[in-house]
A and B are shown apart, each in its own frame.
Chain A
Amino acid sequence: MKTFNLKRIVFLLLIALAIIFVCSLFKDQIKNGMQNSFSGVKSFFWNLTTRDSKSCNFNEASYDIKLSRLSLLEEENALLKEIIGISLHEDYVFEIAGVTQKNILEDVIAVNKGEKDGIKEGMPVLTSEKALVGKVFKTYPDYSEILLITSKKSVIDIKIISEGDYAIAKGEDNLKIALDSLEKKSLVKEGDVCITSSLGGHYEEGLLVGKISSITNLASEVFKTGSIEPFFNLNDLDKVLIIKNDK
């Protein structure tokens, strides 16, 4: 027991605390440097895991995207008939970014575009099929961190296309999303597609969120709950679009 007496333990802990304190002062610079130096290697490793052929889930997603667009176009048309002269369709300004890594123990991914490319915190991030991935959580000069919609910190107001009902999609980590606050009288069923609603004010309306995979209707609960399967698949995600001109 010569190595680990109380004095040595306290000494080791103090050294660890001192290093942590110094590192925390330069955390952002070190993170940016680490990411910038090994961006190429990280992209190489990441691309090894992304699939070349898109999955069946992806094809289903494409179909659902068309369906949601059609539904939105119908709504837009109806509104345009009422309000003449106001253009509802606004083209987005995108920044294409490559995914380099997924953070350990949290649903956060890093992309190779940062403050130097005009990326700001809060910008929505989509797949090339306009399925919502998340939003920019933190920016660094050379890279940004994206909080996935499956993260526990993510709460989104959603609209279910088939019934037009509103609910909340709460991230649960590990790439899962819970459906919450769905009215008891709602006739929503499994397989229905969810899009973002403008109610929350965080996202533009009409971005694809996911498909309802299960619904639970407990008598003890005030609302119906369930789970949503997100449209993006981390294994297919090599490039994302960051909307720069969102509200």
Chain B
Amino acid sequence: MISKILKIFLLIFFWFFILLLETSLLNSFNLMLLLVIIINLIEDPESNLGIVSAFLAGILIDFNTTTYEFGIFSLSFVIFSLSVKIILIKFLKIPYVSWLPKI
């Protein structure tokens, strides 16, 4: 349980750093969205890393947008992540990367 919480905290720091890079350095490139898609596609479909990552990335984007409704990105990222997982478990078996940490 402790290692799970620690992993989530590390993940929060990771996404926060990506957010800093994206908003200050990469003005016209959506790195967060790209990473969410990649993580969800290459991780073990039984792991929760993709969903937690999608939610964290989404909520950080929500905090960094003003003209959109709050929560729209976090919810849509989570729904996207769940949909990818269901497709990968039920319909499409593709090899996954085993070295990605599992939550």
- The chain A residues found within 8 Å of chain B, CB to CB, are 1-4, 9, 12-13, 16-17, 19-21, 23-24, 27, 30-31, 34, 38, 41-46, 48-49, 100-106, 108, 110, 137-138, 145, 147, 151-153, 174, 234
Contact present for A24 and B71 (CB under 8 Å): yes
Contact present for A104 and B32 (CB under 8 Å): yes
CA distance A138 to B63 in the complex (A): 13
1/0 per position for B6-36, CB-CB distance to A under 8 A? 0000000000000011111101101010000
Contact present for B20 and A42 (CB under 8 Å): yes
**Residues of chain A within 8 A of B85, CB atoms compared:** 3-4
CA distance A234 to B24 in the complex (A): 11
What range describes how many residues of B lie at the interface?
A: 35 or more
Report which of B32, B59, B79 forms a contact with A20, defined as CB distance below 8 A.
Answer: B59
CA distance A247 to B37 in the complex (A): 47
Q: Tell me, yes or no, whether B99 is within 8 Å of chain A by CB.
A: no
CA distance A105 to B29 in the complex (A): 9
Contact present for A46 and B51 (CB under 8 Å): no
Contact present for A20 and B71 (CB under 8 Å): yes
Q: Tell me, yes or no, whether B90 is within 8 Å of chain A by CB.
A: yes
**Residues of chain B within 8 A of A43, CB atoms compared:** 24
Contact present for A105 and B63 (CB under 8 Å): no
Report which of B27, B55, B70, B89 forms a contact with A16, defined as CB distance below 8 A.
Answer: B55
A41 and chain B: residue at smallest CB distance: B20
Contact present for A12 and B51 (CB under 8 Å): yes
Q: Tell me, yes or no, whether B53 is within 8 Å of chain A by CB.
A: no
**Residues of chain A within 8 A of B48, CB atoms compared:** 3
CA distance A79 to B68 in the complex (A): 45
**Which 7 A-B pairs rank lowest in CB-CB distance, beginning with the nearest?**
A45-B24, A101-B23, A20-B71, A46-B24, A45-B25, A3-B46, A42-B24
CA distance A105 to B33 in the complex (A): 11
**Residues of chain B within 8 A of A30, CB atoms compared:** 63
Contact present for A27 and B75 (CB under 8 Å): no
Q: A1-B90, A174-B28, A234-B27 are known contacts. Are A23 and B70 too (CB-CB below 8 A)? A: yes
**Residues of chain A within 8 A of B61, CB atoms compared:** 104-105
**Residues of chain B within 8 A of A108, CB atoms compared:** 65-67
Q: A1-B89, A1-B90, A23-B59 are known contacts. Are A103 and B65 too (CB-CB below 8 A)? A: yes
Contact present for A48 and B25 (CB under 8 Å): yes
